[in-house]
Amino acid sequence: MREKVGIGIDVGSTTTKGVVINSAGQILASSIRPTGASANDAAKAVLDEIEEAHGEATEQPVVSTGYGRKLISIADREVTEITCHSLGVHHIFPDVQLVIDVGGQDSKAIRVGSEGRPTDFELNDKCSAGTGRFLEVMARVLDVPIEGLGPLALQSQNPCSISSTCTVFAESEVISQISSGESPEDIAAGIHQSMAGKIASMSKRVGIAAPVVATGGVALNQAFVEYLGKSLGEDISVPQEAQFTGALGAALLSIQ
């Protein structure tokens, strides 16, 4: 008898993620690739990859989430990313109270209620400050690869103050600090501290309550997680599946 599985696809602005799970909610296969110009093409490619990795095609309904959830033809149902991230994280951390998801182009703070359902949320999708895009711009200014920005910041003993909350003005501020002879380590730390403070302010509008879990690609940046924890006054947990919690939540709904 063929095992029942669930399929979730999270179509983000920067990347598209997909997972296949079994009835216990364990991830059997996953895939991530750039969304690019066509969300539909990216979603189809991800579905092909997870079905190939799983070893067989499935007939289970596909649930989509993310900003591009309505743009793909392979989905049988679409659900908001707020609900899917909340359910996905709750599945991994059943006691979670607050989810902070930081992606390439947006960030969100979600209060999680019983059974993993969201009770309140704040979303920043209008300004690149407080998103992965902010770090990409600052890494370019410092002439370091994006994956090297966090480790560079962790070497700092005296973070610079970055007061601008706008990416454009913050970029000018960083250039000014480079000209003033500030070390790349301290500037990088100041960048993370500034971004963490902005996201902490957004999170406080829904109420800070532990346990707090960070997800999204930026959650893989240890420096950001450390400064976010300091800004919130709470320890931050990061799941191993940090980039897949939205797809996981969609897959959980698929298998119900």
* Cβ atoms of 105 and 13 closer than 8 Å: yes
Q: How far, CA to CA in Å, does 120 sit from each of 81, 98, 103, 111?
A: 13, 10, 19, 5
- Give the position of tokens 């994956």: 147
For residue range 134-143, list pLDDT tens digits in order: 899 889 999 9
Dihedral pair phi/psi, residue 29, rounded to 5°: -160, 150
Phi-psi region of 246 (alpha: psi -120 to 50; beta: other; left: phi over 0): alpha
Report the alpha-carbon distance of residue 128 to residue 17 in Å, rounded. Answer: 21
- Give the position of tokens 């989430």: 65
Report the alpha-carbon distance of residue 109 to residue 205 in Å, rounded. Answer: 9
pLDDT at position 148 is 96
| Other residues' Cβ atoms within 10 Å of the Cβ of residue 242 | 21
* Cβ atoms of 174 and 138 closer than 8 Å: yes
Residues of the chain scoring pLDDT < 50: none
* Cβ atoms of 102 and 128 closer than 8 Å: no
pTM for the structure as a whole: 0.91
For residue range 76-94, list pLDDT tens digits in order: 999 999 999 999 999 999 9
pLDDT at position 126 is 67
pLDDT at position 57 is 59
pLDDT at position 238 is 98
Strands (E), the chain: 5-11, 15-22, 27-34, 62-65, 77-78, 98-102, 107-112, 118-124, 212-215, 236-237
